[in-house]
Structure 1
Amino acid sequence: MYTMRDLTALMANMFTTPDLPDASLNQGDAEMMAFFQGIPVEQAVPGTLNFPGSPPQVPSASEEDSETSMSEVSFEHLVLAVDMWTTSMKTKKSKCLIKVFKVLTGKKNKSQPSTVEPDVKAKTRPGLDAWLATVEELKADLDLGRLEASGPLLALERELLVAAAAGGMSQEELVQRQSKVEALYILLRDLVLGVLWRPLEVAPERLRQALAIVSEQELEDRRAAAGSEDSVLAPTRPRRWLQLWRRGVAQVAEERLGGQPAAGAEGLSEAERAFLHLGRTMKEDLEAVVELLLPVFPAEFHVVAAYAESYHEHFAAQLAAMAQFELCERDTYMLLVWVQNLYPNDIISSPKLAAELQDVRLGSLLPPRQIRQLEATFLSDEAAKVKELMGRALELESQDWAQDVPPQRVNGHCHSELASHVMQIISQRQIKAKDITTDLGMQIKQVLLMELAGFFRSYQRAFDKFLERCKQTKNYKANVIANINNCLSFRMSVEQMWQTPPSHVLGPLNELKARGFDSLLQSLLLDLEPLFKRFSQIRWAAPEELMEEILATVAHRLPEFSELQDCFQEELMEVVHLHLVKEYIICLSKRHLVLKTAEHQQQLAGHILYNAALIQHFCTQNGSHATWLDPAIPRLAEIIRLQDPSAIKMEVATYATLYPDFSKDHLSAILVIKGNLSSSEARSILSILDISTRPHKAAHSLFAHIKVG
């Protein structure tokens, strides 16, 4: 007769949730496993796979209580519970509950004697005593944690199957025997999975034993499935211990990755600490699996894949949960870095793991659509940040101009840090995106180029205001030179990053440089203006001396521009070169000089050629590379020297090819000098310019700057 204490313990354990992965149990296992919490030998505790550096797990108070209560439940109670389970597989649910109630209360069925009265001896068939003795021996071995009991237990199961097939045993006795076998298997299962879920805590030989038992049970599951014959016994296979082990691995991954990030990571946000914990834990644990478990586990376990897939699944779940929130700019970047770079490259493709994980299809931590959304957010955030930072840099620079702060001098040149600061901002953002993926690095380059083009327009407007408002400041000219020099730094950086950027991007810089040159040359050009007027006043009587005076004036002012970068000194000299040629041609086109004889025309042509040579030599010596200007004055001198209208026509045609903006008005002003041409001859020469053989667009513009009247 059961005591009240026995019944209380039995009923309590029947409704206790087991500590094993419940998703792995079928209905029968779920009912049985209510009795197996707290088995003192090799009790399975999910999540206790202690990798290097993991703290040892201490049983909780609830676990200790369950062990105590289990010690009070006899093996007979265990068998009785399994007996009721196997019987329930043969009868209707209502009849099973009646039987359970009668067994637990000890009441007799009116038609049958009680099977639990202590004074009624059970009648056994021949050999039953020996069979029960074997069960007790195996029970004792399993209580002592001896995995060697698996072989005899399997033999006992097969013997029972043979007996059931032979049909020489009553169904009641078969149920009783099967219940004892299944109770032993549950004890063995707990022992085996307890070892496999803590593989680094047990001796290697014991681990190999447990692995061999699982492999043996998997083979037996396949054999049972292949046989699939009808039996009076309740179905107990497949037991799927390998599947149970894998689900335990999933719990290990959840506990390992779900732990609190280590303290001490100063300067990191909460999300960044979480990313670091997830990545570091997964990498270290998988490396331990490859190094310590892979050589021991049989191939059918796919131990690396099992751990990698479980860790990946939990890692992905953690990141998916984070991505649901509205992330700050910094956390969006870190999330993308982990998903697109660190996880696939530094973890999955790390030297110790790459070979073992190459056939494991882990996939991405986030779905492609969500990644694209995060990338779009990242690009938008970066564009806004770049615009803000560049605007702040320009504002600080403008304040220095207004406050007349002198620019730095570097290697004899005026220098501003604006270009360096702005391009550093651009470069850092491009590198930041490239650290996520190469493709994202290419995408952000176009975004950054658009933002930089907008900045250049703002820069030009700010510089124009400076030119207008700060002319009287002491360091005005030096700051103008510094900003012109900035154009070189900007241009070199842009061309290095984008090779051939669209012309509209650098357009504001070219305009800024031109405005700067105009400002620097304004005083010099004012000094040259009265000198060029004297050409018409002296009627070209002493043109050589006057041109030498003009060039001497220019030479005197050139040192003012020495703090420009060398390339800009050359460009400035080209502007001076163009101005000298233009002003000289304007003087020739004033219509004040009319020469009636060929001799006078030839004499004037000689003066013009001499002056042209002076201009060309001076400008070339001072750095001008505007060779396109070299024929401009000498070929006009040739038109003045020639007397044959046909020869003049040929020269005009050639000249119009060199300078497509040379118009009839310009030619007419030159022909005025040739006072011996008839009106019809002049019209015939002018008609040459009606023939459209000139290029549609000139590389340089000369006569567009020359107005004649």
Structure 2
Amino acid sequence: MLKMMTFFQGLPVERAVPGALNFLGSPPKVPSMSEGDSETSMSEASSEDLVPVLEMGTAPDRHEEETSKKEKKSKGGLMKVLQVLTGKKNKSQPSTVEPDVKAKTSPGLDAPLPTVEELKADLDLGRLEASGPLLALERELLVAAAAGGMSQEELVQRQSKVEALYILLRDLALGVLWRPLEVAPERLRQALAIVSEQELEDRRAAAGSEDSVLAPTRPRRWLQLWRRGVAQVAEERLGGQPAAGAEGLSEAERAFLHLGRTMKEDLEAVVELLLPVFPAEFHVVAAYAESYHEHFAAQLAAMAQFELCERDTYMLLVWVQNLYPNDIISSPKLAAELQDVRLGSLLPPRQIRLLEATFLSNEAANVKELMGRALELEAQRWVQDVPPQKLNGHCHSELAIDVMQIVSQGQTKAEGITADLGMQIKQVLLMELAGFFRSYQRAFDEFLERCKQTKNYKANVIANINNCLSFRMSVEQRWHAPQDTHSHVLGPLDELKARGFDSLLQSLFLDLKPLFKRFSQTRWAAPEELLEEILATVAQRLPEFSGLQECFREELMEVVHLHLVKEYITRLSKRRLVLKTAEQQQQLAGHILHNAALIQHFCTQNGSHATWLDPALPRLAEIIRLQDPSAIKMEVATYATWYPDFSKDHLSAILAIKGNLSSSEARSIRSILDISTGLHKAAHSLFALIKVG
């Protein structure tokens, strides 16, 4: 569908023949008396009633005139049309002289006026030269009416004959102008001159506005009638049947294409071939553009009244908001000539807003459905135990690519209508994406529960964790929204990643649990050897996670880092170790410091960036080492600023190790947390994960 948006870019620059305005069919009809009425009017009085009895010679034979016209037409042809309209001459033929309309149509000062019958015969033969003598007859009649001496019945009779001749001349001249490329250039210029002359005569009559016994016949407004005919031409051209051969398009889409192509080609022909010939007062480009625009708008308004399918709604908006204003009105050949023509929009703003709302609703439903299908296919692969692909050594899933491509296509469609609609749909798509992430998390949770025994379980878990990176990067790049918006949208992904980490580390942490228990069982007698065994166990399992993206391997190591520190503190808080001397407490503090250094070095070396854990064990060792209650209070206060979730219960468990503290001293030290509690919110949870008692 989107490829249709560039249709006009491929239109030919040159046309082999000027066919855009070579209209077929009969010329437009204008309000006029019938031929019978015209004949009756012509026969009511003889020509002597209108002109003096002065012979000008007999009129040319009709057969001779028709033969002469055919010869002129065959000699002119297309080359003659283009030469005259563009001002270029054929070097192999003698140059033609542009007709002097007034010289041909106006009799000499001493020449008698032709009779009414002669003028009618000339007009029946299509001779536009009759316009001059006819205008002279009209003026003579006005003079006679002003002078008096002639009965009103006779004046009315003569005026009716003049008007009957004018009807013939009008139909003849306007018929030429309504089919401007089907006539010889000289004849076109004659017709243009006649209409211009009649417009001038209308203005003169309006300026004179003298009372007369004659019925008012001006203004005749032939220029206005010409514009009406142009409107009928536009209706005929745009109302035609779309050309066959547009396979794969709906009926509405074929109609859009026919309307747009016809209007563009016809207006380009007007600018190229008619504008250099038509006088400025015709405003020929504006006349055609406004007529075509009006009919184009009427056609689209009629279409919009029906319940359009989703595809046709989209294409209607594309034409109204993009292709028409940009590829037609602002096309290179038309932009300069149409910049002062106020055509406006093809549809009223309210109707456009309704169509846009329908489009947004349709697109949101489409995107939701397509994303749901993509997730369903992905979940089927999990259940069927299909191994994920490998990309650069990492477990890879196409889900993120497929989903973001669906979202991108929806946004591209909206932007293809207007930039503003592209901005509107971004928020719609963001909300649909947030809903998809929630569905994704639920499907992943179900997979974690039901498919633990499948062969490719861990590989698929890793692939889905890796998806979180692609999704996050796409959302942050496409939507520059506030952080809380990202948190709301991406929250399910964070939960999915955390659940994935838990699943991957579950067996490792189960293996570490009995090792940590041995700290209390041996009463911390050989802490260094025990911790080295713990770290060796972790190191042995790390290759299992090599399929993770680098950033996620680091995050996973931070989870391991947190677990090691948490479990170490948990064993210290079991209240099973009571040291009554300062020397024993200092020795334990030394063990803790050494173990803390081992943990920090191992985790950092394997990618952990959880530096916030670095003070956790060393500062607890300092609390155990210190003997002065005041110094211990200061250390506890500082510790509470680093770890706001460090509670009195946790402090009591640590102080229980110091068997030489009295109850009052311990109570005084615990009271320091009453001051610190609530001053800071924990950026990370540590002690909230540790249960004491």
TM range (shorter): 0.7 to 0.9
Are the aligned partners of 2:389 and 2:395 in contact in 1 as well (CA < 8 Å)?
Answer: yes
Question: In terms of mean alpha carbon deviation, does 418-427 or 125-134 score higher?
Answer: 125-134
Question: In terms of mean alpha carbon deviation, does 516-525 or 356-365 score higher?
Answer: 356-365
Change (3 A) 1:167 1:106: farther
Residues 130-181 of structure 1, C-alpha deviation per residue, up to 9 Å, x if partnerless? 9774434433332332222222221221111111111122223212321222
Change (3 A) 1:78 1:481: farther
* 1:348 Cα deviation after fit: 0.9
Are the aligned partners of 1:397 and 1:418 in contact in 2 as well (CA < 8 Å)?
Answer: yes
| 2:30 maps to which of 58, 66, 81 | 58
**SS state at 2:517 partner:** helix
Change (3 A) 1:226 1:356: same
CA distance in 2, matches of 1:530, 1:117: 111
| 1:529 maps to which of 493, 513, 517 | 513
The TM-score with structure 2 as length reference comes to 0.84
Change (3 A) 1:423 1:65: farther
* 1:512 Cα deviation after fit: 0.7
**SS state at 1:160 partner:** helix
Change (3 A) 1:282 1:79: farther
Change (3 A) 1:84 1:127: closer
**SS state at 2:57 partner:** helix
**SS state at 1:220 partner:** helix
Change (3 A) 1:58 1:402: farther
Are the aligned partners of 2:267 and 2:285 in contact in 1 as well (CA < 8 Å)?
Answer: yes
* 1:100 Cα deviation after fit: 47
* 1:499 Cα deviation after fit: 2.3
Are the aligned partners of 1:83 and 1:179 in contact in 2 as well (CA < 8 Å)?
Answer: no
CA distance in 2, matches of 1:562, 1:101: 76
Question: In terms of mean alpha carbon deviation, does 620-629 or 35-44 score higher?
Answer: 35-44
Change (3 A) 1:36 1:453: closer
* 1:127 Cα deviation after fit: 17
Residues 16-38 of structure 1, C-alpha deviation per residue, up to 9 Å, x if partnerless? xxxxxxxxxxxxxxx99999999
Residue 606 of structure 2 is aligned to residue 617 of structure 1: no
Change (3 A) 1:205 1:459: same
| 1:317 maps to which of 298, 303, 316 | 298
**SS state at 1:409 partner:** strand
* 1:464 Cα deviation after fit: 0.9
CA distance in 2, matches of 1:584, 1:34: 67
Are the aligned partners of 1:43 and 1:194 in contact in 2 as well (CA < 8 Å)?
Answer: no
CA distance in 2, matches of 1:80, 1:37: 65
CA distance in 1, matches of 2:330, 2:653: 79
Residues 2-60 of structure 1, C-alpha deviation per residue, up to 9 Å, x if partnerless? xxxxxxxxxxxxxxxxxxxxxxxxxxxxx999999999999999999417999999999
CA distance in 2, matches of 1:37, 1:407: 43
- Percent identity of paired positions between Structure 1 and Structure 2: 90
1:90 corresponds to which residue?
A: 70
Residues 48-85 of structure 1, C-alpha deviation per residue, up to 9 Å, x if partnerless? 94179999999999999999999999999999999999
* 1:692 Cα deviation after fit: 3.7
Are the aligned partners of 1:193 and 1:245 in contact in 2 as well (CA < 8 Å)?
Answer: yes
**SS state at 2:51 partner:** helix
How much is the aligned-residue C-alpha RMSD, in angstroms? Answer: 13.3
Question: In terms of mean alpha carbon deviation, does 512-521 or 164-173 score higher?
Answer: 164-173
Change (3 A) 1:630 1:268: same
Residues 246-281 of structure 1, C-alpha deviation per residue, up to 9 Å, x if partnerless? 010011101110111111111111110110000010
Are the aligned partners of 2:41 and 2:161 in contact in 1 as well (CA < 8 Å)?
Answer: no
* 1:531 Cα deviation after fit: 0.6
Change (3 A) 1:115 1:450: closer
Change (3 A) 1:38 1:124: farther
Residues 587-635 of structure 1, C-alpha deviation per residue, up to 9 Å, x if partnerless? 1111111111222211111111110011111111111111111111111
Residue 312 of structure 2 is aligned to residue 331 of structure 1: yes
Structure 1: 5+ residue runs without aligned partners?
1-30
* 1:296 Cα deviation after fit: 1.2
CA distance in 1, matches of 2:502, 2:380: 23
Residues 202-247 of structure 1, C-alpha deviation per residue, up to 9 Å, x if partnerless? 2222222211211111111111122222111111111110011001
* 1:120 Cα deviation after fit: 41
2:613 corresponds to which residue?
A: 629
Residues 321-365 of structure 1, C-alpha deviation per residue, up to 9 Å, x if partnerless? 111111111011011111111111111111111111111111111
CA distance in 2, matches of 1:235, 1:262: 48
Are the aligned partners of 1:42 and 1:190 in contact in 2 as well (CA < 8 Å)?
Answer: no
| 2:497 maps to which of 513, 528, 538 | 513
Question: In terms of mean alpha carbon deviation, does 163-172 or 526-535 score higher?
Answer: 163-172
* 1:422 Cα deviation after fit: 1.0
Mapping for residues 363-402 of structure 1, pairs under 5 Å: 363-402=344-383
Are the aligned partners of 2:546 and 2:553 in contact in 1 as well (CA < 8 Å)?
Answer: yes
CA distance in 2, matches of 1:471, 1:286: 69
Residue 49 of structure 2 is aligned to residue 77 of structure 1: yes
**SS state at 2:110 partner:** helix
Are the aligned partners of 2:101 and 2:190 in contact in 1 as well (CA < 8 Å)?
Answer: no
Are the aligned partners of 1:36 and 1:70 in contact in 2 as well (CA < 8 Å)?
Answer: no
Residues 99-137 of structure 1, C-alpha deviation per residue, up to 9 Å, x if partnerless? 999999999999999999999999999999997744344
**SS state at 2:691 partner:** coil
1:647 corresponds to which residue?
A: 631
Residue 568 of structure 2 is aligned to residue 584 of structure 1: yes
Question: In terms of mean alpha carbon deviation, does 453-462 or 77-86 score higher?
Answer: 77-86
Residue 125 of structure 2 is aligned to residue 144 of structure 1: yes
CA distance in 2, matches of 1:32, 1:162: 64
Residues 489-519 of structure 1, C-alpha deviation per residue, up to 9 Å, x if partnerless? 1111111111236x22111111111111000
The TM-score with structure 1 as length reference comes to 0.82
CA distance in 1, matches of 2:169, 2:453: 97
* 1:198 Cα deviation after fit: 0.9
Are the aligned partners of 1:570 and 1:624 in contact in 2 as well (CA < 8 Å)?
Answer: yes
**SS state at 2:70 partner:** coil
* 1:458 Cα deviation after fit: 1.0
Residues 354-383 of structure 1, C-alpha deviation per residue, up to 9 Å, x if partnerless? 111111111111111111111111111111
* 1:450 Cα deviation after fit: 1.4
CA distance in 2, matches of 1:295, 1:116: 17
Change (3 A) 1:505 1:100: closer
CA distance in 2, matches of 1:442, 1:33: 19
Question: In terms of mean alpha carbon deviation, does 693-702 or 181-190 score higher?
Answer: 693-702
Change (3 A) 1:464 1:81: farther
* 1:694 Cα deviation after fit: 5.2
How many residue pairs get matched? 677
Are the aligned partners of 2:310 and 2:362 in contact in 1 as well (CA < 8 Å)?
Answer: yes
Change (3 A) 1:137 1:635: same
CA distance in 2, matches of 1:580, 1:195: 97
Are the aligned partners of 1:341 and 1:437 in contact in 2 as well (CA < 8 Å)?
Answer: yes
Change (3 A) 1:155 1:85: closer
* 1:586 Cα deviation after fit: 0.7
Question: In terms of mean alpha carbon deviation, does 147-156 or 196-205 score higher?
Answer: 147-156
Change (3 A) 1:41 1:56: farther
Change (3 A) 1:507 1:162: same
CA distance in 1, matches of 2:366, 2:69: 69
**SS state at 1:695 partner:** coil
Are the aligned partners of 1:337 and 1:436 in contact in 2 as well (CA < 8 Å)?
Answer: yes
**SS state at 2:340 partner:** coil
Change (3 A) 1:43 1:339: closer
CA distance in 1, matches of 2:325, 2:342: 12
Are the aligned partners of 1:601 and 1:674 in contact in 2 as well (CA < 8 Å)?
Answer: yes
Change (3 A) 1:543 1:116: closer
* 1:638 Cα deviation after fit: 1.0
Change (3 A) 1:548 1:285: same
CA distance in 1, matches of 2:559, 2:122: 104
CA distance in 1, matches of 2:93, 2:605: 130
CA distance in 2, matches of 1:695, 1:137: 112
| 1:608 maps to which of 592, 598, 607 | 592
Are the aligned partners of 1:41 and 1:143 in contact in 2 as well (CA < 8 Å)?
Answer: no
Are the aligned partners of 1:106 and 1:116 in contact in 2 as well (CA < 8 Å)?
Answer: no
Question: In terms of mean alpha carbon deviation, does 81-90 or 572-581 score higher?
Answer: 81-90
